[in-house]
Chain A
Amino acid sequence: MESLSVNPASADIASGDSVAPILSISGITKRFGSLAANQNISLSLHTGEIVALLGENGAGKTTLMNILFGHYRADSGTIEAFGEPLEQHSPEDALKRGIGMVHQHFTLADNLSVLDNIMLGTESLWQPFSRRSVARKRLQQIMQDAGLNVNIDSPVRDLTVGERQRVEILKALYRNVRILILDEPTAVLTPQEVDDLFVLLRSMASRGLAIIIISHKLHEVLAISDRVVVLRGGEVVGNAETATVDRNQLAEMIVGRAVERPCVEARPAGEEILALRAVTVRDRATHRIILSNIDLQVRSHEIVGVAGVSGNGQAVLASVLSGLCTPDEGEFLLQGETLKKPSPRLLTSKGLARIPEDRHTDGVVSEMSLWENLLLDELGQEPVWRMGMVLDRRTARQQACQLIDEYDVRCHNEEQPVGLLSGGNMQKLILARNLARDPDVILANQPTRGLDEGAIATVHSLLIDARNRGAGILLITEDLDELLRLSDRVVVMHDGHMSESLPGAGLTPRELGLRMSGAFDNNAT
């Protein structure tokens, strides 16, 4: 690894480019309280280059880019863009200098049209009129040149996530940026949209745009970037040409140690604990069938993976199984008992654990403390709730500390608000809350979405342990690697239908991909 940790000064030589960089950042340090988010970071960028900024959650990638774009002020260090220093700048200055940023959480106004969103800030605020038709023409020209297309009159709320991202990129192009920063651009995209985005980025780079892309997904970084800069704990730990490194080397640089994702060992499954029989769900508003005649069985000691492109009924399936939505037809059986009107509370008391898809909105209450969040599934149970009513704060805290220890949730203390945890630690907390009850069934919906390599490995081994102890797990995921590694059996969802189950062992992504596009009704095994 030492050979890769080139110091930034020589990185320019390493990139084989004698032309002066258009952007050079040197010695940037930024602290949030006692936490050093960035320490002495240096980076350079050339015309037409795609540099990937790689690192775990909390490694300081976004902070660095927010400093570059002027959201934050660095404590020390200098930035030089196009040969001139950029000091104490605001986003306005950055944009004027030709630096644009596409934020991870899009900065669009949903109720306004694409054109309005793009024109914002491009005209003097005191101008008594907007030159909309001029802007429209120019935008159409830009779209044509860049080969990307969106309906510029439709309100942003009607666009898909991929289209919204294109609007963000258009916003930057409309302002003639020459350096484009993309913060986790693929986090919310489907695989197809990711491919489209990469084609677009490549063609823009070939026409001279310099791009910095923040990511923690290794295969994407390898596919798109010319050069990678790896951050860990706020410091640059690696800087190399992408062609000279492989996936494992990068993974090791990111985490600081070798990481191996665990696999399941085959074992016979036990008895059925959860089943859906001919379950059908209709959309409340449109009465369209969104879940059609689903038969599903989960037995103890097994992990059933649900594959499918996002939006093919997985979310509805998850809300049926967690009691948020009652099926219109069909039976829902838990532990051999038919549930007429399942509620989340009832399901929890019957031994179902849930890892929700969106941990921020459904998994935790971010403003509340760690120990309070750990109570959420066990309202009114001894010993934390004396006589089922009175909260014993001391016991609750003790129990929380124990869980925090056991599941290695990195935090200051149990009083800290959950919202301040990193994604991985938040997920570990949710797992701690769910697994401590020793559940019989676990509904794991996208359990590793947005997590870094280290956290993914932890979540996987926790799930595998639970399965080996006898739990039945339904794993809904879009990460095929995760699906194939963990699942004993796999079912595929497409357009509200579910395929027959396939044995997990020996299944290839290609076979799955075929079924994910809907080819399973006739040739299901």
Chain B
Amino acid sequence: MDILDILISASFWAATIRIACPLIFATLGELICERAGVLNLGIEGIMTAGAMSGWLWVYNGGDLIGAVLFAAAVGAMLGLLHASFTVSLGLSQHVTGIGITLLASSLSYFIIKMLLPESTSPPKIVPFQNIDVPILSSLPFLGEALFSHTPLTYTAFLVVPIIMYVLYRTPWGLAMRIAGENPVALEAQGIDVIRVRTLAVMLGSALMAIGGASLTISAFDAFYFGMINGRGWICVALVIFASWRPGKALLGALLFAGLDAFQVRMQQQAGAYIPYQFFLMLPYVLSIVAMIIVARRAEYPKALLKPYRRGERL
């Protein structure tokens, strides 16, 4: 059985984890924005900008950790831009988000083109290397599947419980969740809604940018055109799939990544007699099916998409 062979190979599971890494970062980023009441459709562009700026930092001689921080800063700035339109001015979150995506991705390509006008193949950098966790990585099967990844991949999995803790166990997380549920309640308890939402969007956007950067400085070693390739939109869907819960977001990211890793292997095995496009399509079709099953009963944050303006007649 071909399919069974794929499922029991450690490399399939390792690939799933590797592919999930950018999705986890970006999905959590989108989740934070939406939990605070702001849809961030700038995600696709912010991931592109993160991928570009992380790579650029290393290409210019910076270190890898600095690259992650630089990408996060670029993402936070784009988040601030998104927030200043959607939160401070209360403009349409859809339109602004798509505008940010167009701006950020075009700007990223533009900068690359300006820096390297002549290059035909994108220059490579030295990305994060796999680190084998002592002892655990020598376990049969599990060692290769789970404990031989780049530091950024491990970080992605660590970020999930951190975000859960922040959202559910800290005063700031509570303020963020209420900003997305009933901003008037926040105001009535003396907390500035605009500030909470703006910070949430900036934090979320920083995570998205790290997700993008993980492609250029962890999964691959160069910046390609069209490299985000719709991953941002998948993350928007994953947030709904996850019913706005970080734990389920991790599950969704792994599910999608697993389907992606699976389809690549199916292509290799059955590509001769089934067109490869069919396999490319598979994860997306199955995501839609999963969405229909899981997300029908999803409870939106009540104030998602609703701008809050202070001092308006209540």
Residues of A within 8 A of B (CB): 32, 62, 66, 71-73, 90-96, 101, 103, 105, 107-112, 116-117, 119-130, 132, 171
Contact = CB atoms under 8 A, between A and B. Distances in A.
A223 B186 CA distance: 33
21 contacts: A32-B313, A62-B314, A95-B190, A103-B184, A103-B188, A107-B184, A107-B187, A108-B185, A109-B178, A109-B181, A110-B302, A111-B299, A111-B302, A116-B177, A120-B178, A122-B189, A125-B196, A126-B172, A129-B169, A129-B170, A132-B169
A130 B172 CA distance: 9
Given A72-B311, A90-B190, A109 B172 contact: no
Interface string B147-188: 000000000000000000000011110110110011011111
A125 B301 CA distance: 21
Contacts of B172: 125-127
A96 B311 CA distance: 20
A453 to B, nearest CB: 23
Contact of A103 (B169, B191, B314): B314
A171 to B, nearest CB: 7
Contacts of B299: 111
B190 A119 contact: no
Contacts of A96: 190
A130 B170 contact: yes
A144 to B, nearest CB: 23
Interface of B: 169-172, 174-175, 177-178, 181-182, 184-191, 196, 299, 301-302, 311, 313-314
A246 to B, nearest CB: 33
Contacts of A95: 189-190
Nearest to A102: B188
B189 A130 contact: no
Contacts of B186: 120-121
A117 B187 contact: no
Given A109-B185, A127-B171, 19 more contacts: A71-B314, A92-B191, A95-B189, A107-B185, A107-B189, A109-B182, A111-B302, A112-B174, A112-B178, A120-B171, A120-B185, A120-B186, A122-B189, A124-B171, A125-B171, A126-B171, A129-B169, A130-B170, A130-B171
Nearest to A90: B190
Contacts of B196: 125
B180 to A, nearest CB: 8
B313 A127 contact: no
Contacts, number: 94
Contacts of A108: 182, 185
A171 B189 contact: yes
A112 B181 contact: yes
A522 B76 CA distance: 71
Contact of A71 (B177, B187, B301, B302): B187
A130 B177 CA distance: 14
Contact of B190 (A91, A109, A117): A91
A130 B169 contact: yes
Given A32-B313, A91-B190, A112-B177, A123 B185 contact: no
Given A111-B181, A111-B299, A127-B170, A120 B175 contact: yes
B171 A123 contact: yes
Contacts of A124: 171
Given A109-B181, A110-B182, A112-B181, A120 B170 contact: no
A123 B314 CA distance: 26
B16 to A, nearest CB: 32
Contact of A91 (B174, B181, B187): B187
A111 B303 CA distance: 11
B311 A71 contact: yes
B182 A119 contact: no
Contacts of B170: 127-130
Contacts of B171: 119-120, 122-127, 130
Contacts of B181: 109-112
Contacts of A103: 184, 188, 314
Contacts of A90: 190
A372 to B, nearest CB: 22
B189 to A, nearest CB: 3
B189 A109 contact: no
Most chain B CB atoms below 10 A, which of A71, A72, A126 = A71
B187 A119 contact: no
Nearest to B185: A107
Given A95-B189, A101-B188, A109-B182, A120 B174 contact: yes
Please provide the 9 A-B residue pairs with the shortest distance between their CB atoms, ordered closest to farther: A92-B190, A121-B189, A109-B181, A107-B185, A123-B171, A107-B188, A109-B182, A91-B190, A125-B172
Contacts of A105: 184, 314
Nearest to B301: A111
Given A109-B185, A128-B170, A120 B302 contact: no
A130 B187 contact: no
A171 B185 CA distance: 11
A423 to B, nearest CB: 14
B87 to A, nearest CB: 17
A120 B182 contact: no
A167 B172 CA distance: 21
A60 to B, nearest CB: 12
A128 to B, nearest CB: 6
A125 B170 CA distance: 8
Contacts of A127: 170-172
A189 to B, nearest CB: 20
Contacts of B178: 109, 112, 116-117, 120
Contacts of A119: 171, 174
Given A111-B299, A125-B171, A125-B175, A117 B185 contact: yes
B224 to A, nearest CB: 39
Contacts of A94: 190
B92 to A, nearest CB: 16
A466 to B, nearest CB: 33
Contacts of A112: 174, 177-178, 181
Given A109-B302, A125-B172, A129-B169, A120 B311 contact: no
A92 B185 CA distance: 12
B134 to A, nearest CB: 30
Contacts of B169: 129-130, 132
Nearest to B173: A130
B189 A91 contact: yes
Contacts of B189: 91, 95, 107, 120-122, 171
Contacts of A122: 171, 189
A66 B302 CA distance: 24
A63 to B, nearest CB: 9
A153 to B, nearest CB: 14
Nearest to A93: B190
A120 B186 CA distance: 7
Nearest to B171: A123
A111 to B, nearest CB: 6
Nearest to A94: B190
A101 B188 CA distance: 8
B90 to A, nearest CB: 16
